[in-house]
Amino acid sequence: MMSAPQPAISHPSGFWTAYARVVRALVYALEVVAAVGIITMMLVTCAEVILRIFRVPLTGVIDLVCIAAAVTAAAAIPYTTACKGHVAIEYFFQKLPRWGRIIVDTFVRICVVLLFGFLTVECVSYGMSLKARGQVTPTLQMPDFWVPYVLAASCAVVCLVTVYHLFHPGKELIKP
């Protein structure tokens, strides 16, 4: 006799396992985006330097490097958050009793979720306004409305990572 199939998320720990798996996948996808951004900046800059030796400068290098830098910085934030790699000054935090640290930590994480949630909404709004205006880069005339969308995606993933940390204090989502 076969038993009825169990739902994928049958209890809270199953939910958090699935949640962590999805959020990790999003973080790693953004890490690939950050890596591509770094490689793009490196290749474009090196090509520009080499071609300038032969008096053949590339057009739009500034546009490409600026966009790649913004995307790289934004896409790297979720990974840093997931492995708890941000700089923290804990001198006063460690002076608090355990219950005080729990309260402060919870309050700060809730503030982070609210802040990055707000940034997500504002980045989407800004991207929509750039698209409506037909904003393009100065030299290449390439549409750049999508850059705030990448920033919004990164901010949204930071919210998801912080929610995981809120319910799993002291545990990083990704081991560095």
Q: What is the DSSP letter of 7?
A: P
Contact indicator for 105, 169 with CB cutoff of 8 Å: yes
Per-position pLDDT tens, the chain of length 176:
455 455 444 456 799 999 999 999 999 999 999 999 999 999 999 999 999 999 998 999 999 999 999 999 999 999 999 998 888 778 888 899 999 989 999 999 999 999 999 999 999 999 999 999 999 999 999 999 999 999 999 999 999 999 999 999 888 899 88
Give me 173's structure tokens: 């989502």
Phi and psi of 109, rounded to 5°?
Answer: -65, -40
Contact indicator for 139, 63 with CB cutoff of 8 Å: yes
**The model's pTM:** 0.87
Domain ranges of the chain: 12-167
